[in-house]
Amino acid sequence: MSLLELKEVTKTYKSGKLAVNKVSFNLNNGECLGLVGESGCGKSTLARCIMRVENIDKGSIVFNGEAMEKLSERRLHHYRKKIQIVFQNPSSALNPKLKIKDSLIDPYDQYRQSLNLRHFSFHSKEQFILQLLDAVELPSELADRYPHELSGGQRQRITIARAISIEPELIVLDEPTASLDVLSQKAVLNLLTDLRKTLDLSYLFISHDLAAVNQMSQRTLVMKSGEVVDQFNEYNLFSNDRHIYTKKLISIF
Ligand code: ADP
Ligand code: MG
């Protein structure tokens, strides 16, 4: 079943820049859908449209059967709980003045009235924080530290822990490993794959790194200058009928 359905989504910035041009796709329940393309092709703009931090000019975005451009404020709050985003730079996503434990509890506090957790349980704040740190394979002593006392990879694991803490249905991963060294990248991608399975999550995995996208995703869309020009699945990336632009991306790696 389709969890997220985009039809001819178009976004123009006030500057006149047409950043996303008639993008259509379905993302199925439980799937990791890849979105690959070089810098500036409109990936993050599309992510922000899905998160509804940008309004679209034309087209429709339907999540769980609900057209999101028509959502009331109350439904929008519900929608925001179901879709979380992880950004490239974990440092800017974490409040430097908050201890890790306080950053971790923040999404829970925001949505606690309407949460119905299946995988985590909340008996006490301390115990909840420990479950989250454990889920992202971090030691419990990090709870009392500040973001600057963590490595980049550890910080990104904290933003992932925040995203999963309210058990969303979909996580938009916008270049989640682009700021990390190669070893941390691999470890974070493996963690994300495990979490998708254990927590029944779906991902939209955005990256300029074709190899990483293909490793993570069952299907991948290729974006160029605001448009989706190709899509392939985990078995036919190297088949001959790939778009010429996809072949160019393959040749770079
Ligand atoms: P990507 O994430 O693929 O690198 P972006 O979605 O960030 O691409 O950007 C797509 C295009 O839109 C680029 O040409 C970028 O310069 C432009 N753009 C991004 N954000 C804005 C903005 N807030 N205002 C105007 N133009 C923007
Ligand atoms: Mg981007």
pLDDT digits (tens, 9 = 90+) for 16-33: 999 999 999 999 999 999
Contact 175, 154 (CB under 8 A): no
What is the pTM for the complete model shown?
0.96
pLDDT digits (tens, 9 = 90+) for 60-84: 999 999 998 888 888 888 888 999 9
Helix, strand or coil, per DSSP, at residue 27: strand
Helix, strand or coil, per DSSP, at residue 176: coil
Q: What letter would DSSP give residue 182?
A: H
Q: Is 53 in the pocket of ligand 1 (CB under 6 A)?
A: no
Contact 147, 91 (CB under 8 A): yes
Query: Distance from the CA of 120 to the center of ligand 2, in angstroms?
Result: 31
Helix, strand or coil, per DSSP, at residue 57: coil
Helix, strand or coil, per DSSP, at residue 143: helix
For residues 167-190, one letter each, b for 16 or more C-beta atoms within 10 angstroms of the residue's C-beta and e for the rest, the string is bbbbbbbbbbbbbbeeebbebbbe
Contact 155, 147 (CB under 8 A): yes
- Ion ligand 2: protein residues whose beta carbon lies under 5 Å: 43-44
Strand 58-63 and strand 18-28: the pairing is: unpaired
155, pLDDT greater than 80: yes
d(CA 184, CA 35) in angstroms, rounded, equals: 21
Q: Is 39 in the pocket of ligand 1 (CB under 6 A)?
A: yes
Domain ranges of the chain: 2-252
Q: Give, in words, the CATH class of 2-252.
A: alpha beta
The pLDDT mean for the chain works out to: 95
Mean pLDDT of 55-61: 96
